[in-house]
């Protein structure tokens, strides 16, 4: 006989439930949208890979219709101007343009990474004038068309007073995009209070007696140069093989525990605080630290060689006040302004006549000031001779992006530990 069927609710639900539930529908549509978006993604390139000098009409097109606005935002590195800004005050007196000066650049890599996305999107970065080093990032700025082409007619002081070497530089021939701010030397700085033997060579940075007290730079261009020079290689002619050898030498230094940390410009604070006794350093920083804080740090250009670089003023292409910016740029090539700047920052000035002016200031001064100004005028670190230049090398320049990535992949692991 028939029994009343045991009604299984699970079976009932399975047979009557919708095959495709709401949750499944949402899930599938979400995943497919994501997959489509994935396939459609791609970041467009910014420009060509060859060096570009702007055409005549490009310059005219850029500067057409741009007027003086009465203010300019200046981005610079620390220790590149007297904190009281006497030159900027004089500029405002002469031209009526107000300057907002900010020391926001500490390393080229991060600065480029921060500004490139906005500049490529055509947005202002909040600055009209910035100081960038000749190197990998400078080249990328030029290749990606992120710098404003300079109008030579507005750079009369530079034409009259700028040094000849700066008008025919390899990284910016004809000053299409930049004018020099200062050149500097990367060498070794040490605290003679803690380091009893005199330091003369790059090899001294590898001495085991300085274990844990050595500071190196985190910029791979700087670090790589030191690694190559200590092996006796000229960075400009180096091959990937040389880079590997330099990297292993640097790794030796790191594995032996000799390096305390890889610094950006903050090495100068570490030296002052005694955290490191000897460091890879930029020439002018040391003198400024000694003057401002009374320390007794010493700077040497190592026997194997040092690195020379030039920091340049450039106008980002989305600058809001380019006319004011180029006026400020040209202002720093007045001989007396260049002289007072060099007196404070103690870096190589691009205006050779400034040496005479500094000597005049020294003659007019007395006592400590006189000695100091004389030492600046005679310093090979502010006015190097040809013999000094022969020991100094530029950063390694790269022909292709692939070469640069290879270089970075060799030296980065050292900094990143």
Contact residue for another protein among 45, 70, 96, 198 (CB under 8 A): 45
Q: Which is nearer to another protein, 33 or 363 (CB)?
A: 33
Q: Which is nearer to another protein, 52 or 379 (CB)?
A: 52
**Phi/psi at 47 (5° precision):** -165, -170
51 binds another protein (CB under 8 A): no
Which is it for strands 392-393 and 178-190: parallel, antiparallel or unpaired? Answer: unpaired
Report the alpha-carbon distance of residue 289 to residue 190 in Å, rounded: 12
Q: Which is nearer to another protein, 28 or 401 (CB)?
A: 401
Q: Which is nearer to another protein, 156 or 406 (CB)?
A: 406
Q: Which is nearer to another protein, 95 or 266 (CB)?
A: 266
Q: What angle (nearest 5°) sits at the alpha carbon of residue 387, between those of residues 386 and 393?
A: 85
Question: What is the three-class DSSP state of 77?
Answer: coil
412 binds another protein (CB under 8 A): yes
Report the alpha-carbon distance of residue 271 to residue 286 in Å, rounded: 9
164 binds another protein (CB under 8 A): no
Question: Token digits for 395?
Answer: 């950063």
Select from 67-75, 91-99, 161-169, 397-405 the region that touches another protein (CB under 8 A).
397-405
* Binding letters toward another protein, positions 247-276, x by CB under 8 A: -------x----xxxx----------xxx-
Burial 138-160 (b: 16+ CB within 10 A, else e): bbbbbbbbbbbbbeeebbebbee
Contact residue for another protein among 107, 128, 172, 343 (CB under 8 A): 107
Minimum CB separation from another protein for residue 261, in Å?
A: 4
Residue ranges in 256-366 assigned as alpha helix (H): 267-273, 283-293, 322-331, 335-345, 354-364
Select from 38-46, 55-63, 65-73, 350-358 the region that touches another protein (CB under 8 A).
38-46
Residue ranges in 41-129 assigned as alpha helix (H): 56-63, 86-95, 108-120
Q: Which is nearer to another protein, 37 or 387 (CB)?
A: 37
Minimum CB separation from another protein for residue 364, in Å?
A: 41
Q: Which is nearer to another protein, 375 or 405 (CB)?
A: 405
Of 312, 325, 310, nearest to 151 by C-alpha is 325
In the block, which residue shows the tokens 């007794």?
Answer: 296
Name beta bridge partners: 298: 190
399 binds another protein (CB under 8 A): no
Report the alpha-carbon distance of residue 48 to residue 140 in Å, rounded: 10
Question: Residues in the site for another protein, rule: CB under 8 A?
Answer: 22, 30, 34, 37-39, 41-49, 107, 109-110, 112-114, 116, 140, 143-144, 212, 218, 220, 254, 259-262, 273-275, 401, 404-405, 408, 412-413, 415-417
């Amino acid at each position: 006989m028939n029994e009343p069927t045991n009604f299984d609710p699970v079976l009932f639900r399975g047979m009557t439930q919708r095959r495709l539930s709401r949750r499944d529908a949402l899930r599938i549509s979400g995943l497919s949208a994501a997959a489509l978006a994935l396939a459609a993604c791609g970041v467009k390139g910014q420009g060509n890979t060859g060096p570009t000098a702007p055409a005549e009409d490009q310059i005219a097109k850029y500067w057409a219709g741009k007027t003086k606005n009465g203010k300019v935002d200046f981005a610079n590195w620390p220790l590149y101007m007297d904190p009281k800004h006497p030159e900027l005050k004089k500029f405002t007196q002469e031209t009526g343009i107000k300057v907002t000066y900010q020391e926001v650049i500490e390393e080229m890599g991060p600065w480029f990474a921060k500004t490139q996305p906005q500049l490529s999107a055509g947005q202002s970065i909040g600055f009209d004038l910035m100081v960038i080093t000749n190197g990998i990032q400078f080249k990328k700025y030029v290749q990606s068309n992120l710098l404003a082409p300079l109008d030579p007619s507005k750079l009369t002081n530079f034409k009259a007073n700028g040094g000849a070497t700066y008008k025919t530089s390899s990284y910016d021939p004809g000053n299409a995009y930049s004018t020099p701010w200062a050149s500097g030397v990367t060498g070794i700085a040490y605290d003679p209070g803690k380091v009893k033997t005199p330091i003369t060579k790059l090899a001294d940075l590898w001495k085991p007696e300085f274990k844990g007290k050595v500071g190196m730079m985190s910029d791979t261009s700087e670090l790589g140069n030191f690694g190559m020079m200590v092996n006796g290689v000229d960075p400009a002619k180096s091959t990937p093989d040389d880079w590997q050898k330099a990297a292993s030498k640097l790794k030796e230094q790191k594995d032996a525990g000799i390096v305390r940390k890889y610094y950006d410009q903050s090495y100068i604070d570490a030296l002052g605080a005694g955290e490191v006794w000897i460091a890879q350093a930029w020439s002018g920083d040391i003198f400024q630290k000694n003057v401002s804080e009374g320390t007794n740090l010493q700077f040497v250009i190592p026997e194997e060689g040092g690195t020379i670089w030039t920091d340049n003023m450039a106008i980002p292409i989305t600058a809001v006040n380019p006319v004011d910016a180029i006026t400020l740029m040209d202002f720093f090539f007045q001989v007396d302004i260049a002289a007072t700047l060099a007196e404070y920052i103690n870096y190589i000035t691009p205006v050779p006549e400034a040496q005479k002016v500094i000597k005049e200031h020294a003659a007019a001064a007395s006592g400590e000031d006189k000695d100091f100004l004389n030492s600046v005028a005679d310093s090979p670190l502010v006015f190097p001779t040809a013999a000094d230049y022969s020991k100094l090398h530029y950063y390694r320049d790269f022909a292709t992006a692939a070469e640069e990535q290879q270089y970075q992949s060799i030296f980065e692991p050292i900094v990143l530990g």
